Structure 1
Amino acid sequence: MAIDKAAMEEERINRVLTQYRESPNLLGLIRAVLSELADVAERGDAIQSAFNIDTSVGDQLTMIGKWLGWPRTHCQGSRAKVFGFACEDDDCSVGYPVLGFCEGARFACDGAQFEEYTFKDDELYRRYLKARAVAINSAQTNDYTRESLVAAATAMFGEECVIVKEGRAEIILCLTRFFTSDELQIIHLAEHVLPIAPGVKLTWAHCDGAIFGFGAGWGEMCTSSFYKIITDPLERKPKSGIFGFGPDWSGFCTGRFYSGDPADLEFL
C-alpha cells in the first residue's frame, strides 16, 4: 500500500500541544519539515516495492537475479544449434535443437556445444528466479521434499509440469505438452534452479496432453499419451566406432569408415 503523505503529516501535527497550535508560523515550520520526511518515506517505500520478484521488471529484476545468484547472462546457457534434421514423427523423442541446410548451422564437432544465453524476456527470467528462490531455501533447510520440487516446477511451467517418477537416484519431470525448440535449448539450466538433492539425476520428458496411467492424476484409456524422455544424441554412447547414422553407429567426428572386416564392427 502506498504511503499517504497527507495523513502522515496530520497524524504528527495532531501531537502538537494545544498551547502551540495557535502559532501559524510554528505549524508551518513543522509541516515543512514533515513534508520532507514524508517524501523520504515515500521514496523508501517505492524502493521496497520496486524489488518485488512478482512485479519487478528490467534492472530491478536483474538485481534480484544477482542477489539470488542467477544472473541474466550465462556463458553456457544455450545449447548451440548444430546441423541436423528435425524429427517429424510424433513418436520421436530426440530433443536436441538442430538447423538444416543454409541456416547457419555447424557440425557438432566444430567447437563448443554451448553458447552464451541472456534471459531477455522478463517473464521467463522471473519464472527461473522463483524456482531458484525455492531451491535456495531447500538447500539452506535441507528440505528436498516433493512439495518443494512441485512448488519450484510449478513456478517455472505452471500446472503443465508433473512428476512421473521419483526414486532415490532419479526424478523424471514431464511436461504435458511438447517442449518448444527454444525451451529445449536452455532446459539444462533448470537443474540449477530446481531443488534437486545432491546425487539425484533429473530427467525431462514430455507428451501431448494428459499422461497415460491409472489412478489419481493420470490419464485414462483413449484420452492420454505415453510420455517420451528428452534425449540428447550428442551425449549418447554408440555401440560401434564405425561411421554411420543411428544408435548403433558413431556419427560424425569420431567414427571411422568400415574396412569390410566383420571383426572391426566391435559392437558392445
Structure 2
Amino acid sequence: MFTFDSEEVTFDSEYWRFDIAGIFDCVEPGALVEQEVDKVATQYREATKFLSLIRAFLGETEAAARAACLVPQYFDLDSAGGDQLTTIGRWLGFQRCHCVCEAPKVFGFKSGPFASSDRVGGFCEPGSTWAGCPPLGAGDICITDDEVFRGFVKARRYQVLGLYDIASLQAAARHLWGEAATVISSRVGRVTLAPGRALSDFETMLVPVAFRVLPIAPGIKGYIHYGTGPIFGFGEGWGGFCESAEFICPADPHTYTCV
C-alpha cells in the first residue's frame, strides 16, 4: 500500500519488508537460505554434502538480496542527500542547474535591509542599472543546497501527479517558501501566489525555477506577489483600511522567457 504524502506506507516481499516512515527491515541472515533448503525433497535430507553445496550457492544470492534491501533507504526523499537526492530529482524530471532570466545589479548602496545583498551595485561596479528598468538576460543557476533542492523536488511531485487543485498548489508552494506561502488570487486563466515573507537574493533568482515545478495547470498563467504585508480587502483574513494593507501586485516570474 502506498499513500501519497503520508506515513501510511507498507510493502511486503520475501526479500524485505518496507514499513512506516521509510524504515527497512531486511530478512535475518540465513532466513532465505533455509526457506529454500526446506523445499529439498525428503530423500536428499540426509545428503549433508549436497545440502552444504546448496547453502553455499544460496548464501551468495541471499547476500546480494540483503545488500539490495538496504539500497532504497538511501533514496528516501526526506533524508536523501547529495547524489542520491540528485537522482530522485532526475527521476521526477528535475535537475539541479537551470537557465533563468537574470537581471543585472541595481545601482544603490548596501545599507539597511540591503546590507548583505549581492544584487546592489555601487559607483564603481560595472553593469548596474536603475531599479524598475533592468534588461533581462539569460543566465545559469544551480541549486547546490540539498534542503532547497529537496523542497523543489517535493513540489514537483504534485505536478507529476497532475494535482492541479488549489490545495495542492498551496501545499507545493509551502515546500518552496515555507508555511506563510499561499495562493492569494485565482481567476480565469491566471493565479497569483505569495511567499508571505521577504525572499533572499538567491531565492528571488530561483523564482522562475519555482514556477516550473509548481502544479499550475496548462493554460493558466502564474504570477507572484512579493509583498509581505496583509492584502487589502474586506472580510476575514484580509487587511482593512487601518492595517497597513497593500494591494495585490502580481509580477511575471519570467518562467521560461525573458520578455
Q: Name the CA distance, whole Å, in 1 between partners of 2:201 and 2:44.
A: 73
SS in 2 for 1:177: coil
| 2-structure distance, mates of 1:221, 1:4 | 65
Contact between 1:86 and 1:98, CA under 8 Å: does it hold in 2?
A: no
Amino acid at match of 2:174: T
**How far, CA to CA, are the matches of 2:245 and 2:66 in structure 1?**
54
Given that 1:176 and 1:210 are in contact with CA atoms closer than 8 Å, whether structure 2 keeps it comes out as: no
Aligned residue for 1:180?
200
Work out whether residues 182 and 193 of structure 2, in 8 Å CA contact, stay in contact via their aligned partners in 1: yes
Give the equivalent residue in structure 1 for 2:79: 55
Instruction: Supply the distance in 2 between the matched residues of 1:36 and 1:200 (Cα, whole angstroms).
Output: 55
Q: How far has the Cα of 1:159 moved from its partner?
A: 1.9
CA displacement, residues 166-186 of structure 1 (integer Å, 9 cap, x when unaligned): 111221212222112221111
Question: Equivalent residue for 1:155?
Answer: 175
CA distance in 1, matches of 2:40, 2:243: 73
Instruction: Supply the AA of the counterpart residue of 2:106.
Output: F
The one-letter code sitting in structure 2 at the alignment partner of 1:54 is: D
- For the 8 Å contact 1:79–1:113, the answer to whether it is kept is yes
SS in 2 for 1:74: strand
SS at structure 1 position matched to 2:51: helix
Looking at structure 2, the residues matched to 171 and 2 of structure 1 have their Cα atoms a distance apart, in angstroms, of: 44
Per the alignment, in what secondary structure is the counterpart of residue 219 of structure 2? coil
Kindly state the Cα deviation for residue 89 of structure 1 after the two structures are TM-superposed.
Answer: 9.0
Q: Does 1:4 align with 2:31?
A: no
TM-aligned CA deviation for residue 145 of structure 1: 1.6
- Select 1:36's aligned residue among 31, 40, 60: 60
Are the structure 2 counterparts of residues 226 and 20 from structure 1 closer, same or farther at C-alpha, using a change threshold of 3 Å?
Answer: farther
In 1, the alpha carbon distance for the partners of 2:190 and 2:177 equals: 20
Answer whether contact 1:213 1:220 (CA < 8 A) is retained: yes
Structure 1 Cα separation of the partners of residues 74 and 208 of structure 2: 30
**Paired residues, what number?**
223
**Residues 111 and 155 (structure 1), Cα distance of their counterparts in 2 relative to 1, 3 Å cut:** closer
Q: 1:113 aligns with which of 137, 143, 167?
A: 137
* TM-score, length of structure 2 as denominator length: 0.69
Q: Aligned runs of 1:210-225 on 2, under 5 Å?
A: none
Letter aligned with residue 184 of structure 2: V
- Map residues 217-256 of structure 1 onto 2, 5 A cutoff: 226=246, 229=249, 231=251
Does the CA contact (< 8 Å) of 2:110 and 2:120 recur in 1?
no
What residue is the counterpart of 1:196 in the other structure?
216
Q: Is the 8 A contact 1:172 1:204 kept in 2?
A: yes
Amino acid at match of 2:63: D
1:68 to 92, 96, 114: 92
Contact 1:174 / 1:227 at 8 angstroms: preserved in 2? no
- Runs (5+) with no aligned partner, structure 1: 91-95, 235-268
The answer as to whether partners of 1:85 and 1:98 remain within 8 angstroms in 2 is: no
- Give unpaired runs (5+ residues) of structure 2: 1-23, 255-259
